[in-house]
Structure 1
Amino acid sequence: MDLLSLRYFRAVARHQHISRAAEELRVAQPSVSRTILRLESELGIPLFDRHGRRIRLNEHGAAFLHRVERALAELEDARREMTDAAGAGPGRVAVAAETLLQLAGVLAAFRAHRPGVDVRLFQAPVDSMRRHLRSAEVDFALASQPLGGPGLCSAELLREEVLLAVPPGHRLAGRERVAVAELADEEFVSTRTGHWQRALLERLFAREGITPRVAFEGDEAAATPELIRAGLGIGLMPAVARRTLGERSPVAWSRLDAAADCHRTLTLVWRENAYLSPAALDFRRLAMESFMPDAS
């Protein structure tokens, strides 16, 4: 069992597709297929269920993947630790976030403090961020919804209310408060399933026993105000958006009666016992100072 076989297996397990894994690995598809078959033969058990040309990770494969990701992450930590010890270059910091806009201030401060450090950003929903962390592809995840689990540490950076945004002239424009039940027949502009705005919307509606009508969905929450202004629907936006847009806001804002539960919690997450380079430690400190000015 060599490292190449384990890396091939991890790619196939993630994609559940030989061709896509081969594209990621930049190798020929037959090479990937042969490697997986050889690995299964060596282990003495199938790791995938096969139905024609389709493959699915089975329970044995899932258990094996968990340990493979831990092993490869440890090796990546070791490689980076030795590289830093040797003084080979200014280092690297990798961060995953649902939206990169919220990282702008932290990155500016970090770049000024540590010029030359290679900063890698991944835009991803919460499930992908968890995978990036487990495999040591990123040092940190900046999550707007719960991202916990065994082997993960976190620090809450920010907690803010989420508001209802509607187009000017809408029947709810000018209302100070709106009940969730009043929105049952409204069409929403939201992010795709997996992002925090969509998860919050569905959770609030589920408590009322109704399902939100999502007319337009995408991956970039920053476009939501303009889509709402255009009359394509209403939506949920964090309070920071109202402060950022200020007087030029293209939408009208209201609070939801469920305000106690209608909030976003921004959390910085990293792997427990993971190797964090001096650059990564500085990034964590600056992130906490940026969002929590009183943090030490």
Structure 2
Amino acid sequence: MDLLQLRYFQAVARREHLSRAAEEMHVGQPSMSRTIARLERELGVPLFDRQGRQVRLNRFGSAFLKRVDRALVELDEARQELSDEAGLENGSVSVAAETLLTLTGPLSRFSAEYPEVSVRLRQADADAMVRQLADREVDLCVASQRLAGPSLRSVELLREEVLLAVPLAHPLAGRERVGIGDVTEEPFVTTRPGHWQRTLLERLFTGTGTKPKITCEGDETGAIQDLVSAGLGIGLIPVTARRAAAGGPVAWLHVDAPGCARVLTMVWREDAYLPMAARRFRDVAVSLLRSRRS
């Protein structure tokens, strides 16, 4: 068997569809089918149960896939190590984050220090980032909530207070502080489930006997302040947004509740080789963001 057969088998096993796997590997479906058939002949067992172009891994295929995944990961990491030894000229790093605005500072400094390295960014919620790390689609994740998964390691980048933003004409606008009991009947502007603001909001309401009343939810975290300013509700926003003086005018209140804070961490897989470019990006982000701690 050769490496190409293993790559094709892995693609078909993941897709469980010959045409889609062939498209992913940029080959014709007949060529993909012949390669898989030749591999099965060499192994002496069928790897799939077939129903037209739709295929399903059988018990032989499932067992073989585990070995193939490990072998190909070792080869890919070996290739990366050799590339690292040769220098950063051809290096790359892939990073996922809940909001890409968090990365503007580290990206600017990293690009200035390592202009030869290419950076690929993805926007994702916590669940998606865990999957991307598990599938080795990204090297690093920048998250504002804990990412749960095997062999994940993290370093804290930033810890900051989260404030409550209310419209300037709101009855609470003249106050300096509020408790959660003061806002249980208020409409909230927040993010969809999976994003850190929504997770924090729901956690703050735990024990109140009520759930937050959500009038607007979405993925654009940077729009929350403008929507609050427009009078659609109130919202939780980290203190850095207030310092940036961005967005519509709002009144800012401290929240008297334990843990009303954002903890920004960088996460990577401890059991996988981390390319030199990713390590350099991690070092730059840690150095820059830790210096800005509130």
What's the TM-score bracket when you normalise by the shorter of the two chains?
A: 0.7 to 0.9
Matched residues, number: 280
Aligned counterparts of 1:111 and 1:159: Cα–Cα separation in 2? 25
CA distance in structure 2 between the aligned counterparts of 1:146 and 1:28, rounded to whole angstroms: 42
In structure 2, what is the equivalent of residue 136 of structure 1?
Answer: 136
Give secondary structure in 1 for the equivalent of 2:274. coil
1:254 aligns with 2:253: yes
Per-residue CA shift, 1:246-270, capped at 9, x if unaligned? 7x86111111120x31111000111
Counterpart residue number, 1:230: 230
The one-letter code of the counterpart of 1:253 is: W
1:139 deviation in Å?
1.2
Identity %: 54
Distance 1:33 1:164 in 2: 58
TM-score by length of 2: 0.79
C-alpha distance in structure 1 between counterparts of 2:209 and 2:150, whole Å: 32
- The separation in 1 between residues aligned to 2:63 and 2:185, in whole angstroms, is 44
Q: Which residue of 2 aligns with 1:213?
A: 213
Q: CA shift at 1:2, angstroms?
A: 2.6
Q: Mean Cα displacement is larger for which, 271-280 or 76-85? A: 76-85
Give the 3 Å change call, closer, same or farther, for CA 158–62 of structure 1 in structure 2.
farther
- CA distance change for structure 1 residues 171 and 143 in 2, over 3 Å: closer, same or farther? same
Query: Which residue of structure 1 lines up, in the alignment, with residue 161 of structure 2?
Result: 161
- Report matched runs for 1:82-93 at 5 Å: 82-86=82-86, 89-93=89-93
Go from structure 1 to structure 2 and tell me whether the alpha carbon gap of 1:78 and 1:226 turns closer, same or farther (over 3 Å shift): same
How far is 1:7 from its partner?
A: 2.8
TM-score (norm 1): 0.78
The structure whose Rg is larger is 2
The change in CA–CA distance for 1:215 and 1:81 in structure 2 (over 3 A counts) is same
Q: CA contact under 8 A between 1:174 and 1:253: conserved in structure 2?
A: no
2:270 to 264, 272, 294: 272
The amino acid that maps onto 2:175 is R
Change (3 A) 1:24 1:45: closer
Alignment of 1:168-247 (within 5 A): 168-245=168-245
- Where does the alignment leave 5 or more consecutive residues of structure 1 unmatched? 47-54
Structure 1 residues 145-174: Cα deviation after superposition (integer angstroms, max 9, x where no partner): 001432111101111111111111011112
